[in-house]
């Protein structure tokens, strides 16, 4: 992409309505624009990040054996009356009446609708296990929408649902989700710690929230500092292997890590004092096992192979896809702007031409551009008639992990400059070597 043809409405002023750094940077770098309270338009640059995050979520869900699908945002109230949640959900549910006076609603989550789909088509244990998921817009009429996309009213969420014959099978689904979530967040450059949580309106016995540590997080968290040493890394996992998935659960939940809702001061006090941490975190996902809470009232039953009709065991599993954009920025920025992790960056590399209109500089930039595209990478070429300082400031603000600077002096010596956004370190190398270096850095993310 050439910046002269792109839509990147960068703001010079710091927007006064934004209280936290990710919100400020998302507005300043032209990722989003508020449409109304808690509802945002995703401008081209922000939309690109959202898509990258969504893509990682899809890949990891599919890898775990879960089936992508899509359900409507507008749902009939009748299903929600069956489960008893139409009244229970309260003011957070956006209720709509259609022209025939029928009660509808904008989906805040989709346990009812997926259970309805299941009961219409599945009658036998032979069709189990089954896990389906969607990535779809949700609406919750939050009393205090704030912090930009972090607590919106409309937000983009991955929600997955498992159907299993037994509790044991459903707990395997739970563990599979835990593993896939660990992989998902690490690919985005995040450490998200599974913490024992409270189930809230979804209901259920077993639940973990995934929290990214950040000062601006809305949740107070308590943990044993040893937990932050754990990484899932690139280990191979067989998602059908129960013992392996269970082992990962035990490894990542063996140390104390809880939100304020489940915090137990007595247990916490048993951790050696130097390892006790009280901090704040951003909830980027949650997994639930809730057994037959929906299948029983809604009649989602199967033949168990022994002549009985039994309600299926279920769980649901969410990832805050749009919130993650803010969470990643909270975790990765400096005073100049965003610093995108390689796994989610909207463009892989920025090209800055220090002397637009100079034949040698223009030619070298075009050559770099084509070479990156040929390697399957997306460059953002700042080809505007602007001062070098302004070009650097824009690149720093929008946070591409790598920048190549092309100027007449360097070209005279056959080199360009490659700069790492995170460290600020630069090195001079030939254009070919620079392309090879950047391609090598991204190889594990492609």
Among 142, 304, 417, 428, binds ligand ATP (CB under 6 A): 142
DSSP H or E segment with residue 415: none
221 contributes a contact to ligand ATP by CB under 6 A: no
Partner from Mg ion, ligand ATP, none contacting 157, C-beta within 5 to 8 A by type: ligand ATP
Among 75, 131, 286, 322, binds Mg ion (CB under 5 A): 286
Stretch that binds ligand ATP, among 82-90, 119-127, 152-160, 438-446 (CB under 6 A): 152-160
Nearer to ligand ATP, 89 or 442 (CB): 89
Q: Please give the full DSSP string across 250-306, using - where no structure is assigned.
A: HHHHSS-EEETTT--HHHHHTS-GGGEEEEEEEEEEEEEEEETTTHHHHT-EEE-SS
Task: State the Cα–Cα distance between residues 135 and 156, nearest whole angstrom.
Answer: 7
Residue 241, strand partner residues: none
The 3 state secondary structure assigned to 119-143 is HHHCCEHHHCCEEEEEEEEEECCCC
Task: State the Cα–Cα distance between residues 67 and 131, nearest whole angstrom.
Answer: 6
Phi-psi sector, 200: left (phi>0), alpha (psi -120 to 50), beta: left
The pair phi, psi for residue 279, each rounded to 5°, is -150, -170
Which x/- pattern over 172-211 shows residues binding ligand ATP (rule: CB under 6 A)?
Answer: ----------------------------x-----------
Partner from ligand ATP, Mg ion, none contacting 332, C-beta within 5 to 8 A by type: none
Q: Which residue is nearest to ligand ATP (CB)?
A: 320
Task: State the Cα–Cα distance between residues 203 and 276, nearest whole angstrom.
Answer: 30
Nearer to ligand ATP, 41 or 308 (CB): 41
Of the candidates 287, 286, 283, 145, the residue with the CA atom closest to the CA atom of residue 214: 283
Partner from Mg ion, ligand ATP, none contacting 151, C-beta within 5 to 8 A by type: ligand ATP
Going by their DSSP bridges, the two strands 103-106 and 192-196 should be labelled as unpaired
CB of 220 to Mg ion, least distance (A): 15
Task: State the Cα–Cα distance between residues 138 and 73, nearest whole angstrom.
Answer: 7
Nearer to ligand ATP, 291 or 318 (CB): 318
With b for 16 or more beta-carbon neighbours within 10 A and e for fewer, the 195-221 pattern comes to bbbebeebbbebbbbbbbbbebbebeb
Partner from ligand ATP, Mg ion, none contacting 116, C-beta within 5 to 8 A by type: none
139 contributes a contact to ligand ATP by CB under 6 A: no
End-to-end Cα, the chain, rounded Å: 19
CB of 90 to Mg ion, least distance (A): 16
Which x/- pattern over 394-433 shows residues binding ligand ATP (rule: CB under 6 A)?
Answer: ----------------------------------------
DSSP H or E segment with residue 158: strand 154-164
Partner from ligand ATP, Mg ion, none contacting 155, C-beta within 5 to 8 A by type: ligand ATP
Among 186, 283, 383, 396, binds ligand ATP (CB under 6 A): 283
CB of 146 to ligand ATP, least distance (A): 9
259 contributes a contact to Mg ion by CB under 5 A: no
180 contributes a contact to Mg ion by CB under 5 A: no
Neighbours of 332 (CB within 10 A): 20
Among 66, 151, 277, 313, binds ligand ATP (CB under 6 A): 151
Nearer to ligand ATP, 109 or 332 (CB): 109
DSSP H or E segment with residue 160: strand 154-164
DSSP helix/strand/coil, 412: helix
Q: Please give the full DSSP string across 303-323, using - where no structure is assigned.
A: E-SSS-EEEPEEEEEEEEHHH
CB of 415 to Mg ion, least distance (A): 51
Q: Is 99 exposed, middle or buried (0-12, 13-18, 19+ CB in 10 A)?
A: exposed
148 contributes a contact to ligand ATP by CB under 6 A: no
Which x/- pattern over 339-378 shows residues binding ligand ATP (rule: CB under 6 A)?
Answer: ----------------------------------------
Report which DSSP code applies to 394: H
Nearer to ligand ATP, 150 or 438 (CB): 150
Nearer to ligand ATP, 321 or 365 (CB): 321
Which residues of the chain form contacts with Mg ion (CB under 5 A)?
286
Which residues of the chain form contacts with ligand ATP (CB under 6 A)?
109, 140, 142, 151-152, 155, 157, 200, 283-286, 318, 320, 322-323
């Amino acid at each position: 992409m050439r910046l002269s043809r792109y839509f990147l409405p960068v703001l010079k002023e710091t927007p006064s309505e934004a209280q936290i750094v990710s919100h400020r940077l998302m507005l300043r770098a032209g990722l989003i624009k508020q449409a109304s309270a808690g509802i945002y338009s995703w401008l081209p640059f922000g939309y690109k990040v959202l898509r990258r995050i969504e893509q990682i979520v899809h890949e990891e869900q599919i890898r775990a054996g879960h089936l992508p699908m899509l359900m409507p945002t507008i749902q009939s109230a009748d299903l929600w009356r069956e489960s008893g949640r139409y009244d229970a959900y309260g003011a957070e549910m956006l209720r709509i009446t259609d022209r025939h006076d029928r009660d509808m609603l904008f989906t805040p989550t989709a346990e009812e609708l997926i259970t309805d789909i299941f009961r219409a088509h599945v009658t036998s244990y032979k069709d189990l296990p089954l896990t389906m998921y969607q990535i779809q817009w949700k609406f919750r009429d939050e009393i205090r929408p704030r912090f930009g996309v972090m607590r919106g009213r409309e937000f983009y969420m991955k929600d997955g649902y498992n159907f299993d014959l037994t509790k044991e099978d459903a707990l395997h689904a739970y563990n599979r989700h835990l593993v896939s979530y660990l992989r998902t967040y690490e690919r985005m450059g995040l450490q998200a710690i599974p913490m024992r949580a409270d189930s809230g309106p979804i209901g259920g016995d077993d639940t973990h929230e995934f929290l990214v540590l950040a000062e601006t997080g809305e949740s107070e968290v308590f943990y044993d500092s040893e937990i932050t040493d754990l990484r899932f890394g690139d280990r191979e996992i067989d998602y059908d292997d129960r013992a392996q998935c269970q082992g990962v659960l035990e490894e990542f939940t063996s140390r104390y890590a809880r939100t304020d809702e489940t915090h137990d001061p007595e247990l916490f006090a048993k951790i050696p004092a130097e390892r006790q941490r009280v901090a704040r975190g951003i909830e980027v996902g949650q997994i639930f096992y809730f057994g037959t809470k929906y299948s029983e009232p809604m009649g989602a039953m199967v033949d168990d192979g022994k002549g009985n009709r039994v309600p299926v065991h279920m769980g649901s599993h969410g990832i805050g896809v749009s919130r993650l954009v803010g969470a990643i920025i909270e975790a990765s920025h400096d005073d100049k702007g965003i610093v995108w992790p390689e796994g989610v960056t909207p463009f892989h590399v920025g090209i800055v031409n220090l002397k637009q209109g100079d034949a040698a500089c223009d030619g070298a930039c075009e050559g770099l551009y084509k070479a990156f595209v040929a390697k399957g990478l997306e460059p953002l070429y700042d080809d505007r008639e602007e001062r070098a300082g302004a070009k650097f400031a824009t690149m720093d603000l929008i946070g591409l992990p790598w920048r190549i600077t092309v100027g007449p002096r360097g070209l005279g010596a056959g080199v360009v400059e490659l700069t790492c956004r995170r460290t600020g370190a630069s090195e001079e190398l030939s254009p070919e070597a620079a392309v090879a270096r950047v391609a090598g850095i991204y190889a594990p993310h492609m």
